[in-house]
Amino acid sequence: MSEHPFASYVRILGKGPNLSRSLTLDETRAAVGMILKGEVEPVQLGAFLCLMRVKTETPAEVAGFALAIRDSLSIPQGMPAVDLDWPSYAGKSRQLPLFLLAALLMAENGVAVAMHGAGGHTAGRLYSREALASLGIDAAASLAEAAEQIGTRRFAYVPMDVLHPRLPAIMGLKRLLGLRSPLHTVARNMNPFDAKVSLMSVFHPNYRAVHRDAAELMGMRELACFKGEGGEVERRPEKPCLVEGLRQGVAFEEEWPPTLTSGSGHDLDMDAGRLARLWRGEVADAYAEATVVATAAVALRQVGRAGSPQEAEALAGRLWAGRRRDGLAA
């Protein structure tokens, strides 16, 4: 019997400590292309994902994986330009997803934001789709609807299954394999709508450089990556924040000082309805507002609205104070 064409990619990763190696960008792109077309057997997919995860993903593998996903997308003709790519895959367990208000603040001030994510893969977390629904913002049901939402309100949330129906199943294999899929890492680098700027967050600080180098291999020129609260793109205002990425194609590191002297405890209620009340100014919460401002400041700096962290913080504060309290992403 002839060898299955996907077997060569598994062999490269799993031939042993002396003969195995990482995949190149082109090899990963080809292998993942086969996966997304349904051309591999389930046992091959499990072996491929586990082997890549155990050795940890290289920037070339992350870039090749992300590019293969982008190759498979059917982006509508006439898709409006997206300014800011905002991946949201971790979910929140200790604090509400306050970063959503930062993203909507950017949209209100002329920055087109495409947020994409997945939910339900980790128990006990509040995911962006549900939180946005509490704000009256529905997820896009198709890529065409995402394009329409970007055009009309400068914000869209696109679930992973709308990007490609096979992606949630791959991420969901954690339940069977006991390991996070490389897709948890790759999803942050997808930038499915080819936005000018991408924001990313990491659980583990050493992944900042992986995301930056993968983005550079993908041809991206504007990226800001930092260790976000709970793994989401959300600054903790009581902590210093090292932002790493690309600015005009050049690698950079930038230390952002804390804006508060103390943090906030665990939110025991996790009431998503509180997000709307915060936006409308019906509740006062210094920590939550500082989080929104601090997160928006990183985005403003990266899209070129501010020349320094201090300028970005000041601008974010003014925008938050002047927000339209009777509307969200209007």
- When divided into structural domains, the chain yields a total of 2
Q: How many CA atoms lie within 13 A of 200 on its CB side?
A: 32
Indicate the burial class of 93 (C-beta count within 10 angstroms; 0-12, 13-18, 19 or more).
middle
Q: Are 27 and 52 in contact (CB under 8 A)?
A: no
pLDDT at 285: 95
Spatial separation of the C-alpha atoms in residues 285 and 22, rounded to whole Å: 48
- Does 215 share its domain with 102? yes
Dihedral pair phi/psi, residue 72, rounded to 5°:
-90, -5
Q: Is 77 contained in some domain? A: no
pLDDT at 121: 66
Indicate the burial class of 175 (C-beta count within 10 angstroms; 0-12, 13-18, 19 or more).
exposed
Q: Is 61 contained in some domain? A: yes
- Does 97 share its domain with 39? no
CATH number for the domain harbouring residue 162: 3.40.1030.10
Sign of CA dihedral 30, 33, 39, 42: positive
pLDDT at 107: 97
Mean pLDDT in runs of 10 for the chain (330 residues)?
94 93 98 98 97 95 98 94 97 95 97 94 85 96 97 97 96 89 94 97 91 98 96 96 97 97 84 95 95 98 98 98 80
Q: Is 330 contained in some domain? A: no
Q: Is 328 contained in some domain? A: no
Q: Provide the domain limits for residue 34.
A: 7-72
- Does 42 share its domain with 117? no
Identify the domain boundary among 72, 101, 121: 72
Note the pTM of the prediction, 2 decimals.
0.94
- Does 63 share its domain with 122? no
Q: Side chain identity at 62, as an amino acid letter? A: V
